[in-house]
Amino acid sequence: MSGERVTIKTPDGEFSAYVARPAAAKAPAVVVIQEIFGVNAVMRDITDGLAAQGYLAICPDLFWRIEPGIDITDQSKAEWDKAFELFNAFDADKGAEDLQATISAIRADPGCTGKVGSVGFCLGGKMAFLTATRTDVDAAVSYYGVGLDSLTPEAEKLTRPVMLHIAGEDGFVPKEAQAAIHAALDNHPLITIHDYPGRDHAFARQGGEHFHAGDAETAGRRSLAFFAEHLG
């Protein structure tokens, strides 16, 4: 499946997004939120996969304010160094604004039913949580989001459902952070948390060092069921 590129305008400028369309003329939309490697083949494949499942899927370039068009992999030290440089320069507050612009744009697309979800990975997992607390997204899924322990107070603002996938041995989310997330969010009526014992960060990244096919499939199935329930 080959997607298309669209341009999203904001008061600060414009950025591109990769869009994959389903077979249906109208469908719920899902915003796919990138890792620290940009809108790369892994993210485009996830976007295409959601379209194959019947969703209008869009993956915005959230690094556009730093360097537009980032498309790197996790296969070399130089790329990792570049990815962390981008991660450290990234402004999450502006990123949340760009995600609202993306949500508004795809919701207005003639092919959208009006329902929009989000799913993010790593940095995108953090941003998916922020879509739930700072945008008008209808449902959000976060895979091994980084820094969520510092964002738990924002859960007070939640009005839409959230699903969190937490890797038990996440090298970027230590046990203390995981415990803080559970302590703050376990009893929240709109939040569902799934733990994956023994899994490391990015266990759902195809081709990644820590990829685990079984748990990636389980998390994917849970996410699709969640979207089916809340997006239609």
Catalytic residue set:
170, 201
3 state DSSP class of 11: coil
Residue 169 phi, psi (nearest 5): -115, 40
State how far the Cα of 62 lies from the Cα of 151, in Å rounded to an integer. Answer: 19
3 state DSSP class of 17: strand
- Closest among 126, 119, 125 to 151, alpha carbons compared: 126
With beta carbons less than 8 A apart as the criterion, state whether 116 and 107 touch. Answer: yes
State how far the Cα of 226 lies from the Cα of 231, in Å rounded to an integer. Answer: 8
Q: Could you identify the residue written with the tokens 């009526």?
A: 189
Q: Could you identify the residue written with the tokens 């993010």?
A: 120
